[in-house]
Structure 1
Amino acid sequence: METVPFRYRQNTSSFAHYWTEGIGKDLLENLGFQPDIKNADQFVPYLFKWDNPADQVVFDLYQKIGFPNGNRALSNYISKKYVDSDEKKAFDQLFDSFTIEPDWVDFSRIRKGAELSRRAGISALIVLRDYCLMGGYESSAINKPLIYTGALKKGAVKRLTDTVEFWVQITKEDALRNHAEGFKQVMMTRMIHAYSRVNILQHSDWDSHKWGIPINQWDLLATQLGFSLVFLVGLRRMGFQPSEEEIDGLFHKWKYIGYLLGIPLELLPETEAEAIEALYYWTMTQANGDADSKALAKALQNEPLEANYPKNELMRKFMREVHLYYNYYLLGDYSCNLLELPKTTVGKLAIVNIWKYKKLEKNMHLDEVRQKAILDGGNEQENVRVIYQTFNK
């Protein structure tokens, strides 16, 4: 086992409140047992493991032709368009390191998970932004690569623009089939991780003994859990009642995405129970948030003010208040206070959206209602994607 890094702390995390007083308490009750924190020690080596095949593409190609040209070449390679011999050689080595559609992948299950993701409409994007993303800032360690790659200088608008693009593209019908846009987005994200990791290690004072390798496999699993388990918890909090088939599909979908991103299969949960246990081990070994955590939270809090849409400044201020309301509604007072997020009064009007979805969910067992929700929700998310791409590029 590698030397235990400074960041690894058992039972000293602010996340302890989540599991004893917050939503995590219900998750443990559903799990039926209290995971033994000592089991988390087995995962320490993954803090020093990373995606070597993707990093090699960075060394062999991206550092020679630049990141934009590298991703254009990747897109062409996946689409079976022309790439030169150096580009083909680099990507052949990457794609030869894994099976694109392994035998265990079931696209009918993935389809159900994608349908859940779409039918949640705007609420899905709210959960991702105000619960999954904001809540992730409570950990100081996983966010250090964002600081080293200049995320604060680039602003939260760019990160949200990229995240919305990624999310919408991977949740469309058959989005993860080979050559589909969603599949491209996953592979491009894999290269973003590799490019960032290589540059951090080559051009900064990153301390791997303190933080582990940047964008390591254990932290990548936490991100995957954010899009799967934490997303599911947030949807339930918003009033959604996913079916067992949808839940199964959601976790299968994210197992496949995690695999495509280079996360080892042995880490990827197949069920909600496995995901709860994995989230417990990861969160309960995190050092508390720090000044960087609060700075990232503040940047996300003020993102509506920095965005170029809506055009009306008053409406952008109102959107800021709405997101603050959802932060408190989804994360709770304890986490929001740790991140120093202010409370809101005006933003409480957002409760109307929650009431609307709770009412609609009562008839979701009817196929025509569900199919309409999938169509309408997908269109809502696509509209948001277009807005971000149009006004914030």
Structure 2
Amino acid sequence: MSHTYRNAVIPERVVNLDEARHRHGAMADHAAHMVMAGDPLADAVIAELDQLGKEGRHILNRGLADGLTSLGEQPPKAIEALLRQLETVPSWADPAQIDRGEVALLSVPQPWFEICAISSALVHTYASPAIARLLAQTGQLTKMASRRLVETGMWGRQSTLPGGLHRGAPGYISTAQVRLLHARIRATALQHGWDTAVWGLPIGQTDMARTWLDFTLTPFTALAAVGIELSAEEQKGLYQYWSYTAYLLGIDERFYQGVTDHASARRLQNLLDMTNAEPDDNSRALTAAMVSATASAPNPLNSQARRWQTFTADSAETARRENAQGPGPDEAFRLPGGTAYEQNIAVPTTA
């Protein structure tokens, strides 16, 4: 895919661009300019929902659950375009891998995933001053941190279970909901005077790529510190699976198509980090709130400790089988008041 940047203005948040060009070549300019790029399909749906109201939300939710064909011959145009893209599995995606789920993450016991992987992912996300500024504007940091941990864990689990990304499956729906929530946040921030000349577009493509790394490279860097490491083959499978997740999230393909292992992921992370300003007070406040929320959560690690003291391929396979079972209908999570997506986009539901 070719990209041109005629008359494009690079926002002030982008730093060290000359050094990044020297180290990363044309990809540095791509990352710098994609700070100003959103997600046209999802952004159009948000605008359409604002026009259609409650009925539009019903149509969207039905389409996510039951597919585009369930909406008849003339669904709303923006909803139709988004669903068509979501339901078109790209030729490079492996259907068998989608059937299996994300094997590497499923081999990690849930307590380690939640406490080690999720926490490290959010810390790196919050390290971006632009992202932190956007999130901090909502206020109530402690309350938000707890829900953020729970919702992130729910999405991570749903999207990696066997078949979780099949059309209409919980992971597919929650991934689309994350994408649409980003679009809603973008639209709301722009309506309230967000300074794009300084901060770029709220949750622009470069920020989405950063978040994608926070569910691939960042968690497994943290997990490696406690002895949970991936083989070369496992790394390949991890990034293949999450490339399809990136596609569903509406992330520009140039960010992820060349990322096939931790080494190539680190190159992308280095580019995004070196062109990003240092963490600021918002970053520190969000991280402190998240650490506090993590510390106050029940700690089920002790029951898993012996398994990881004697970590073997068999123990990993045991964990994968247990995690792949997923919660039964009666164990499914429901947050009081609904998820952030339900609160901001979907038709309100009763808990």
TM-score (norm 2): 0.80
Whether 2:346 is the aligned partner of 1:359: answer no
Q: Is the 8 A contact 2:142 2:290 kept in 1?
A: no
Query: How far did 1:235 drift?
Result: 1.9
Partner of 1:102: 90
Q: Is the 8 A contact 2:158 2:170 kept in 1?
A: yes
SS of residue in 1 equivalent to 2:129: coil
Q: Is the 8 A contact 1:170 1:185 kept in 2?
A: yes
Moved more, 208-217 or 86-95: 86-95
Moved more, 160-169 or 215-224: 160-169
Query: How far did 1:37 drift?
Result: 5.2
Q: Is the 8 A contact 1:113 1:248 kept in 2?
A: no
SS of residue in 2 equivalent to 1:302: helix
Query: How far did 1:61 drift?
Result: 1.6
Distance of aligned partners of 1:192 and 1:86 in 2 relative to their CA distance in 1, 3 Å threshold: farther
- How far apart are the structure 2 equivalents of 1:70 and 1:149? 26
Query: How far did 1:391 drift?
Result: 7.2
Query: How far did 1:353 drift?
Result: 7.7
Partner of 1:3: 9
Q: Is the 8 A contact 2:14 2:275 kept in 1?
A: yes
- How far apart are the structure 2 equivalents of 1:182 and 1:257? 10
Encode CA deviations 1:241-297: one digit per residue, 9 max, x unaligned: 323332111101111111111111111143123211110100111111111112111
Alignment identity in percent?
26
- How far apart are the structure 1 equivalents of 2:77 and 2:128? 38
Partner of 1:29: none
Encode CA deviations 1:85-119: one digit per residue, 9 max, x unaligned: 88544321223356621111013345666122122
Query: How far did 1:234 drift?
Result: 1.7
Partner of 2:195: 207
Query: How far did 1:131 drift?
Result: 1.2
SS of residue in 1 equivalent to 2:13: coil
Distance of aligned partners of 1:373 and 1:96 in 2 relative to their CA distance in 1, 3 Å threshold: closer
Encode CA deviations 1:50-78: one digit per residue, 9 max, x unaligned: 10111111111245426xx7655433113
Whether 2:162 is the aligned partner of 1:216: answer no
Amino acid at match of 2:144: G
Partner of 1:266: 254
Encode CA deviations 1:180-222: one digit per residue, 9 max, x unaligned: 11111111111111111111111x1210010110010011000
- How far apart are the structure 2 equivalents of 1:300 and 1:353? 24
Whether 2:23 is the aligned partner of 1:36: answer yes
Whether 2:11 is the aligned partner of 1:65: answer no
Amino acid at match of 1:5: P
SS of residue in 1 equivalent to 2:158: helix
TM-score (norm 1): 0.72
Q: Is the 8 A contact 1:112 1:245 kept in 2?
A: no
Query: How far did 1:46 drift?
Result: 0.3
Query: How far did 1:146 drift?
Result: 1.3
Amino acid at match of 2:253: L
Distance of aligned partners of 1:44 and 1:151 in 2 relative to their CA distance in 1, 3 Å threshold: farther
Distance of aligned partners of 1:167 and 1:52 in 2 relative to their CA distance in 1, 3 Å threshold: same
Query: How far did 1:38 drift?
Result: 5.7
Partner of 2:222: 234
- How far apart are the structure 2 equivalents of 1:242 and 1:111? 21
Give 5+ residue unaligned stretches, structure 1: 13-34, 311-318, 323-349
Partner of 1:76: 62
- How far apart are the structure 2 equivalents of 1:355 and 1:370? 13
Whether 2:319 is the aligned partner of 1:373: answer yes
SS of residue in 1 equivalent to 2:216: helix
Q: Is the 8 A contact 2:210 2:272 kept in 1?
A: yes
Distance of aligned partners of 1:242 and 1:353 in 2 relative to their CA distance in 1, 3 Å threshold: farther
> 271, 278, 287: which one pairs with 1:288?
278
Encode CA deviations 1:100-147: one digit per residue, 9 max, x unaligned: 211110133456661221220121122233211123322212222212
Q: Is the 8 A contact 1:49 1:216 kept in 2?
A: yes
Partner of 2:185: 196
Q: Is the 8 A contact 2:217 2:266 kept in 1?
A: yes
Moved more, 144-153 or 228-237: 144-153
Give every structure 1 segment of 4 or more consecutive aligned residues whose post-TM-superposition deviation is greater than 6 Å.
Answer: none
Amino acid at match of 2:60: L
- How far apart are the structure 2 equivalents of 1:357 and 1:10? 45
- How far apart are the structure 2 equivalents of 1:252 and 1:276? 16
Partner of 1:345: none
Partner of 1:346: none
Provide the alpha-carbon RMSD of the alignment. 3.4
Partner of 1:173: 162
Q: Is the 8 A contact 2:118 2:219 kept in 1?
A: no
- How far apart are the structure 1 equivalents of 2:204 and 2:233? 31
- How far apart are the structure 2 equivalents of 1:7 and 1:173? 39
Q: Is the 8 A contact 1:43 1:218 kept in 2?
A: yes
